[in-house]
């Protein structure tokens, strides 16, 4: 009589398509406990089922992550669209109100205080002065503009480096006898000079052995190169491009070329015959 019972490797898996990865993993763990230790086929089948459960868990996590990413992108896109629509709505409302009411600007200024109005007027006047002062007037004004621009572009002062340099200066002056150390009853120590100033270095004659740091030198070189690039860009915008002429080179640098061009404008009509005669004699 044929055996109607199925072997362990032919038993159907307890994992179904509707089970979640966590439920499937728990079910496979229970099945793994029930598998005999001396049955290799059942162990292989259990490991394969567990591998499939882990794959399903990985796919579920990947799908959840992709869904979160898509939702975040959609939210960012919607926020940008809403902001764009709001800006367009504000501009359209402003144009409609301005066209409907001739006194719209005057009425809108009623909402501003005197301080705000004066600040706005100063700002507009400053913009007008800056716009009018772009063109070259003289070297004094040009140097003043460069100085103000460099002051605005200065980076913040390194407080830690300043405190370190000041501490070294105070210590060296205490060692040389220019400053005296004073200790209070609470244990606080500070320096005092002959004028009674506290923690203030004494003015000394300039020491010629001072050397700037490499960072300071690099920053100075970078600022000089930046200024040179800006100068060349401005010259090119005014049509004074630094390019070689197709004819003979009669200058040693760009400044000399400018000087020669100025002389040519005034004296070419007098010296053209002499120059042509000299060139003919050289050719012979």
Q: DSSP characters for 148-217?
A: HHHHHTPPPP-HHHHHHHHHHHHHHHHHHTSSEEEE-TTS-EEEE-TT--BS-PPP-PPPTT----HHHH
Two tokens, residue 150: 């460099």
Assign 16 a pLDDT band (cuts: 50, 70, 90): very low
Show the CA angle centred on residue 146, arms to residues 140 and 148, nearest 5°: 105
Burial string for 241-266 (b: 16+ CB within 10 Å, else e) reads: eeeeeeeeeeeeeeeebeeeeeeeee
**Residue where the block lists tokens 């004073």:** 182
Q: How far apart are CA 270 and CA 103, in angstroms?
A: 66
Q: Quick one: angle between helices 40-100 and 21-34, nearest 10?
A: 170
Output the average pLDDT for the chain: 78
Q: How far apart are CA 152 and CA 126, in angstroms?
A: 15
- The string of pLDDT tens digits covering residues 46-72 is 889 999 999 999 999 999 999 999 888
Residue 17 predicted with pLDDT over 90 = no
Residue 82 predicted with pLDDT over 50 = yes
**If you ran DSSP here, which 8-state letter would residue 37 be given?**
T
Q: What percent of the chain has pLDDT over 90?
A: 8
Highest mean pLDDT among 54-68, 107-121, 187-201: 54-68
Assign 18 a pLDDT band (cuts: 50, 70, 90): very low
Q: What is the model's pLDDT at position 282?
A: 60
Residue 10 predicted with pLDDT over 60 = no
Q: How far apart are CA 266 and CA 88, in angstroms?
A: 59
Q: What is the model's pLDDT at position 225?
A: 92
Residue 77 predicted with pLDDT over 90 = no
Helix spans in the chain (H): 21-34, 40-100, 104-108, 114-132, 139-152, 159-176, 214-237, 254-283
Q: What is the model's pLDDT at position 104?
A: 81
Assign 276 a pLDDT band (cuts: 50, 70, 90): confident
- The string of pLDDT tens digits covering residues 90-109 is 888 888 888 888 888 788 88
Q: What is the model's pLDDT at position 221?
A: 93
Query: Does residue 215 or residue 29 have the better pLDDT?
Result: 215
Please enumerate in sequence order all residues whose Cβ is within 8 A of that of 236, keeping only pairs 6 or more positions apart, or say none.
Answer: 242
Query: Does residue 72 or residue 279 have the better pLDDT?
Result: 72
């Amino acid at each position: 009589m044929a055996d109607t019972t199925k072997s362990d490797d032919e038993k159907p898996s307890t994992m179904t398509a509707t089970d979640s990865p966590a439920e499937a993993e728990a079910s496979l763990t229970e099945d793994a406990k029930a598998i005999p230790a001396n049955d290799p086929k059942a162990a292989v089948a259990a490991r394969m089922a567990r591998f499939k459960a882990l794959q399903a868990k990985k796919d579920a996590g990947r799908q959840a992550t992709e869904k979160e990413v898509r939702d975040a992108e959609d939210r960012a896109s919607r926020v940008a669209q809403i902001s764009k629509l709001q800006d367009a709505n504000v501009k359209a409302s402003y144009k409609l109100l301005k066209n409907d009411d001739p006194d719209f600007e005057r009425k809108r200024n009623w909402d501003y205080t005197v301080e705000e109005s004066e600040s706005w007027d100063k700002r507009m006047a400053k913009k007008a002065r800056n716009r009018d002062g772009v063109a070259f007037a003289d070297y004094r004004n040009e140097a003043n503009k460069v100085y103000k621009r460099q002051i605005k572009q200065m980076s913040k002062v390194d407080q830690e480096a300043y405190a370190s340099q000041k501490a070294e200066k105070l210590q060296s002056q205490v060692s040389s006898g220019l400053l005296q150390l004073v200790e209070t009853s609470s244990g606080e120590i500070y320096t005092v000079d002959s004028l009674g100033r506290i923690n203030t270095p004494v003015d000394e004659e300039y020491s010629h052995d001072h050397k700037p740091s490499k960072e300071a030198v690099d920053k100075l070189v970078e600022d000089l190169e930046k200024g040179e690039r800006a100068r060349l860009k401005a010259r090119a915008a005014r049509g004074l491009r630094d390019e070689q002429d197709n004819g003979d080179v009669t200058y040693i640098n760009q400044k000399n070329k400018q000087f020669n061009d100025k002389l040519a404008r005034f004296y070419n009509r007098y010296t053209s015959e002499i120059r042509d005669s000299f060139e003919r004699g050289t050719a012979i």
